[in-house]
Amino acid sequence: MIETYLRRSGSTAKPFFDELAAPEGVVREHWKKLAHAYEELGLDKMELRSREISQELRDNGVTYNVYSDPDGINRPWKLDPVPMVFSQLEWESIERGLAQRAELLNLILTDIYGERRLIKEGFIPFDLIFTHKGFLRQADKLIMPGKFQLIQYSADLVRGPNGKMWVLHDRTDAPSGAGYTLENRAAMTRVFPDLIRENQVRKISSYYQTLKNTLTKLSIQNKENPRVVLLSPGTANETYFEHAYLASSLGFTLVFGQDLTVSDGYVWLKTLKGLEKVDVIVRRVDDIFCDPLEFLGDSHLGVVGLMEAVRQKKVTVINPLGARILENPGLMAFLPRLCRHLLNQELILPSVATWWCGHEKEKKYVLDNLPFLIIRSIYRSNENLPYIGSEMSKKQIEELRKEIITRPYLYVAQEVVSFSTTPSLIDNSLQACNAIFRSYIVADTEKEAYNVMPGGLSRSFPTKGEFIISNQTGGISKDTWVLGPSPEDQPKRAVNQPILRQVKNILPSRTGESLFWLGRYLDRAVSNVRMMRIVLKIYNERDDEIHPETNETLVILLKSLSTLTSTLPGFTAPDQAKLRQPEKELLSLAVETGRAGTLAQSLQSFLTNGYAVRDRLSLDTWRILDSISEEFEAMKQNGNDLRKIYHNLDQFIIKLMAFIGLNNDNMTRASSWRLLNIGRFLESALNTCNILQAALGNNVKPDVEKQLMELVLMCNESLVTYRYLYRSTLQLPGVLNLLLVNEDNPKSVAFLIAKIDEHLAHLPDNYDGGGLSPAHKKLLEALTMIRLCDINKMVPANLTDDFSKKELNRFLHHLIEVLGQAASIIFESYFSPTQSQYSFVKSNNALPEL
């Protein structure tokens, strides 16, 4: 395997520096142990390990969203089993260079929004800063206390043909990827523990601990117990997984813009208990989206008034608004001189050769060499994509030339660098692929220095010669190994541990709303699956000689299914066309996501809400959620085969019940667990009443009634319970007593209502009118109705042919009405009825490509 790779790289990769092999085809010293291990494993076992890694990532729910791609939402994260490797000696130089560059950029940022001496003294051109959209005049003179303005920094590095490392991009606005880096390392550690141990791969955990320590010390107002939140654009964002993952790992609250509000100059988090003050915001939203009052007026991702809270020094935003100015590639041309001026040092890590067109000499060079350069806008965005001169037509080059001549200060040109190649496992062989490495640096306020992660996120691209490598364009991630003993392995002197304090767990109201709907859609899906499974069972067992519409039991079940799913008229339509040919409607109820009330729509909404609160779910719970998602995709592929769909329904019951059981087992009895269960129990109570009315509210023959009672009990998982309680033939009063009145039965409506009332009593009481709250009153009304009802009067044990079930139907109709009112009151008491619960799935492109 390695010999084949050496032959291929030696014959085809001469323009590139190869990370594994020297030009003469010899394996580099720091790769030898790995190369030997891969040779012993062989391709078959390497493929097996690769599948294990993919399975690990799928099980952990590691996803990445690709914009404008039908398969983009929750796309599985790809990780190459072959890492990017740096030797200890080489890394020491890179580490010094990255720390130096972070320090230099920090000084530049401080000066740009401070005294601006560098502009006044001619070290930075005036036009380079003031024509860049990343320079926010609203942030002028807003300097954070202390040495550091730039808290988080990332640099994309590439190795050129001569073996030197070059900085390709500086990322200072909302650098992404640190969460994926941590998950990559976790997956590699589980699959290749021996290789990591034998090669002394340095741990990356110190970076995250430093990040957490630094963020908790940046509060201006609340020094002792600051509230830190991570501001995400939302679930549709490409890197939402890592927002939730980092928030959960670091113990911060994950919020969206709608979760925050500004009042009295402070930023507040909307919670079930009211407003909670926020001290530090770690933003993953681009700066111009952060405050629609001062920047982009149509942004739904930020917080109105956030900039004013920053001005009044009542909240700290990381990185500070305006830090995007440092991503200006034009600055790269001036960094060597700036480094000598500000640090009295030579720049250790040079940038890719860069020419800013705002200077006449550089502009002329660029215009004369357009076909051989990469042209970039000084402001990076999804609209301003780079121009690769060698791939442009003469007409395109002329149009670009005119644009540069018209506004030269908006463009920079960079040298076309041949990225180094690194081995990647592709199509069952090791292939040399171009690679780029992203580093992560964080300010350490204790040591007054920058902490560089000993590793990072590398990406490779299967096609050689690519100059734009990102996950959006098909790049594959690689773990990055820095070899050699870690400085942390040295003995440390004992230090006094801080006093352990329990932090109050705050639940944003938006998160609470998602949990409430997660519970409702969960039980809606369970009820729909059980009912549909019973319908398909009876439908498949019918006598082929008997038309479905002449089978009274099946007809009532089909109509009950339409009632339960609220897809009326459905099977209840007067023309009975769907009853005569039920297959099409059954398939629609199973797989049509765009139709409200279907099983597919309930499952899709359940998964969407689950994804929105993934930072509140345990890893095992998320694995079950991911398994449900896979089963859902399988069912949609079986869209024309009821037999296969029936098998999917069996699997759904197992997995949905596992989800319920796991959350009951491992969620703390806090507001999140209670809201989830309130949603479940409300939906379950309503569904039970609907099924009872639709299936048992008709006057039918005794044998049909008996069959329907058995199926209704099965649908509510209560048939065995009935047999143990009554030990007699099925009778309607017993069925109704068990499913409505018996408070010892966890499936009865009375039990569910009592539990809802109990959970509500533990939630924050927002009612100040004295006495019972409207929600408690409505639940008490429903429970009292059930407790006072006389089942034997509504339906005597021995029904006569002329007996009408009018009283039973009236009672169930009223009970459904009261429960619906209770659900509405509960929702309006804790959540904003003006916001659709689907608002968090709006698409946005507010983060740079990874």
Residues 655 and 713 grouped into a single domain:
no
For the chain, give the longest Cα–Cα distance: 103
Domain that holds residue 723: 669-833
In the chain, what percentage of residues exceed pLDDT 90?
A: 65
Other C-beta atoms closer than 10 Å to the C-beta of 147 total: 13
Alpha-carbon span 105 to 515, nearest angstrom? 42
Rg of the Cα atoms in the chain: 32
- Lowest pLDDT segment from 60-64, 735-739, 831-835: 831-835
Q: What's this model's pTM, rounded to 2 decimal places?
A: 0.86
What 3 state SS string does 353-407 have? CEEECCCHHHHHHHHHCHHHEEEEECCCCCCCCCEEHHHCCHHHHHHHHHHHHHC
262 phi, psi to nearest 5 deg? -110, 130
**Mean pLDDT for the stretch of residues 482-505:** 58
**Mean pLDDT for the stretch of residues 42-61:** 89
**Mean pLDDT for the stretch of residues 706-733:** 91
Residues 592 and 720 grouped into a single domain:
no
pLDDT at 700 over 80: yes
pLDDT in the model for residue 842: 35
Domain end marker among 667, 683, 702: 667
**Mean pLDDT for the stretch of residues 43-64:** 87
Residue 311 lies in a domain: yes
Residue 386 lies in a domain: no
Residue 759 lies in a domain: yes
pLDDT at 69 over 70: no
pLDDT in the model for residue 72: 47
Q: Which DSSP letter does residue 315 get? A: -
Q: Among 66-70, 464-468, 662-666, 835-839, which range has the highest average pLDDT?
A: 662-666
Alpha-carbon span 129 to 328, nearest angstrom? 8
pLDDT in the model for residue 55: 87
pLDDT in the model for residue 364: 95
pLDDT in the model for residue 10: 59
In the chain, what percentage of residues exceed pLDDT 70?
A: 90
**Mean pLDDT for the stretch of residues 581-605:** 93
Residue 67 lies in a domain: no
Residues 729-769 pLDDT 10s: 899 999 999 999 999 999 999 999 999 999 999 988 777 77
Q: Which DSSP letter does residue 796 get? A: -
Residues 311-345 pLDDT 10s: 999 999 999 999 999 999 999 999 999 999 999 99
pLDDT at 427 over 90: no
Residues 138 and 170 grouped into a single domain:
yes
pLDDT at 687 over 80: yes
Residue 350 lies in a domain: no
Residues 603 and 691 grouped into a single domain:
no
pLDDT at 504 over 70: no
pLDDT at 509 over 60: yes
Indicate the pLDDT class of residue 581, thresholds 50, 70 and 90.
confident
Residues 629 and 717 grouped into a single domain:
no
Residues 762 and 616 grouped into a single domain:
no
pLDDT at 470 over 70: no
Residues 640 and 701 grouped into a single domain:
no
Residues 775-786 pLDDT 10s: 999 999 999 999
pLDDT in the model for residue 499: 47
Indicate the pLDDT class of residue 575, thresholds 50, 70 and 90.
confident
- Do 173 and 323 contact (CB within 8 A), yes or no? yes
Q: What is the mean pLDDT of the chain?
A: 88
89 phi, psi to nearest 5 deg? -65, -45
Indicate the pLDDT class of residue 494, thresholds 50, 70 and 90.
very low
Residues 692 and 663 grouped into a single domain:
no
Residues 692 and 612 grouped into a single domain:
no
Of residues 776, 626, 698, 766, the one with CA closest to residue 58: 626
How does 800-836 read in b/e, with b if 16+ C-beta sit within 10 Å? eeeeebeebbebbeebbebbebbbebbbebbbeeeee
Alpha-carbon span 692 to 679, nearest angstrom? 20
Residues 720 and 681 grouped into a single domain:
yes
Residues 639 and 740 grouped into a single domain:
no
What residue type is 406 in one-letter code? T
Residues 203-240 pLDDT 10s: 999 999 999 999 999 988 777 789 999 999 988 888 88
- Do 302 and 290 contact (CB within 8 A), yes or no? yes
208's enclosing H/E stretch is helix 205-216
Of residues 839, 679, 849, the one with CA closest to residue 235: 839
pLDDT at 67 over 70: no
Residues 705 and 822 grouped into a single domain:
yes
Residue 559 lies in a domain: yes
pLDDT in the model for residue 1: 72
- Do 195 and 172 contact (CB within 8 A), yes or no? no
pLDDT in the model for residue 497: 47
**Mean pLDDT for the stretch of residues 448-459:** 95
For the CA atoms of 327, 331, 337, 340, what is the dihedral angle to 10 degrees? -20
pLDDT in the model for residue 272: 85
pLDDT in the model for residue 293: 92
Size (the chain), residues? 850
Domain count, the chain: 3
Residue 104 lies in a domain: yes
pLDDT at 249 over 80: yes
Indicate the pLDDT class of residue 833, thresholds 50, 70 and 90.
very low
**Mean pLDDT for the stretch of residues 655-671:** 89
Higher pLDDT, 513 or 8: 513
- Do 421 and 18 contact (CB within 8 A), yes or no? yes
